[in-house]
Structure 1
């Protein structure tokens, strides 16, 4: 008798894996192979969906993770000294949220879902492990961070 279970795909895992994600071209290093994808999937955590109006992180909270928007839209904002909200940006699928906290270890803005949204969470403590396991990850992360800085500069 033949063991057919060896060819069975875990559909649930496939739906949430980095390799199966339609946004992979935006956040994955070019040329990443199957073994590297498995290593990356071990670190990247799927996160439960956020309903409209829910916050991903708030101004002043400690940095724990970076987040890749999988679906939906987010706005980032801060509160001015006079108590008004100042919108800093809008974030679409494929964009990474949380770079604001890299220099101070605390978020300098709030990220709020504008509609039903999902994100992938990359624990900050795991970034170094990912970089060691997946060649090209540091370069891709710098590219994405640079893209964010250019975008922010264009909004000045």
Structure 2
């Protein structure tokens, strides 16, 4: 994973454009790249970050059992596939996969119910989380900033 330190941003980087959405900033970098600009080292920096969690549904015992069953079924299918690889006959392949899927779903549903019950109503909802920035700045190396402004100036015409 690439991490950006404040020193990296402030040393020899110059902002060339600011946008309201990440997609606009991404299009700018793509435009620069398409016109031969040296984009390595270019940064898209989110400014004014906020964490947003959107509640999408209420978590019920039925939903907890369903999510548990789905995740358990995948795990059971994987275990069934593992056993099927070492089975002596090809005829055992399908029954092992089906039994793994079924028992995984059952075990997953039970564990999903238990996990939901143990929380005691402290988190009875399903949500999606993300980071949103107020604006996005495109920064390039100072030595290439004039060329970037020139390319962006042509694009706006």
TM-score calculated relative to the size of structure 2: 0.23
- Rg bigger for which structure? 2
Higher helix share: 2
Q: Considering Cα pairs closer than 8 Å and 6+ residues apart, tell me whether 1 or 2 has the greater RCO.
A: 2
**With structure 1 as the length reference, what TM-score do the two structures score?**
0.23
